[in-house]
Amino acid sequence: MSETDAKAGWLPWPPLIYLSAIVIAVLLTVFYPLPWIVGLLGDLLFVIGLLVVLAVIALWATAFRIMIAARTTIHPNGMPAHLVTTGPFSMSRNPIYLANSLLLIAIGLAGGMAWFVVLAFIASFAVSKLAIEREEKVLALNFGKKYRDYQKRVRRWL
């Protein structure tokens, strides 16, 4: 792969994909609602959903703080200045995308909207194909062996 091929794409796919997933999930929930669990189990899923939202906020805050401290880009199409491998990046190579996907699941659980859960998996797949694979090529080109070693140690999602 040439350096030109490995440059980040011009369209910021991740935010567009997650925003589209939210809009589609809302529309499907309004026009084609799926059945949801009620009663005690439904209440438990609501609480789990709220707890996951708190975890998502903590994950976002930690990941962004570490990236800013490392003086590297947080923009999905930006060229990274430094390889960040600490904090949540020591458990997932993509903790921000993981948090975005978990947020969709959390909304679905807390709001009793199954379409959010379904769209979370579809959005995660789309982000992998349209953004993460390209980002990985850019990182491998920029950081070489250091990034390839990191890939061996840390999984893409979890």
Q: Does residue 23 form part of some domain?
A: no
- The tens digit of pLDDT for each residue in 129-155 reads 999 999 999 999 999 999 999 999 999
Contact 77, 146 (CB under 8 A): no
Q: Does residue 33 form part of some domain?
A: no
Task: Give residue 12's pLDDT band: very low, low, confident or very high (50, 70, 90).
Answer: confident
Q: Does residue 6 form part of some domain?
A: no
- Number of compact structural domains in the chain: 1
DSSP 77: T
Whether residue 9 is predicted with pLDDT greater than 80 in this model: the reply is no
Q: Does residue 15 form part of some domain?
A: no
Q: Does residue 109 form part of some domain?
A: yes
pTM of the predicted model, to two decimals? 0.92
- 3-state class of 155 per DSSP? coil
**pLDDT given at position 10:** 63
Environment class of residue 35 by beta-carbon count within 10 Å: exposed (0-12), middle (13-18) or buried (19+)?
A: exposed
Q: And the tokens for 48?
A: 């789990």
| Residue 67 belongs to domain spanning | 41-153
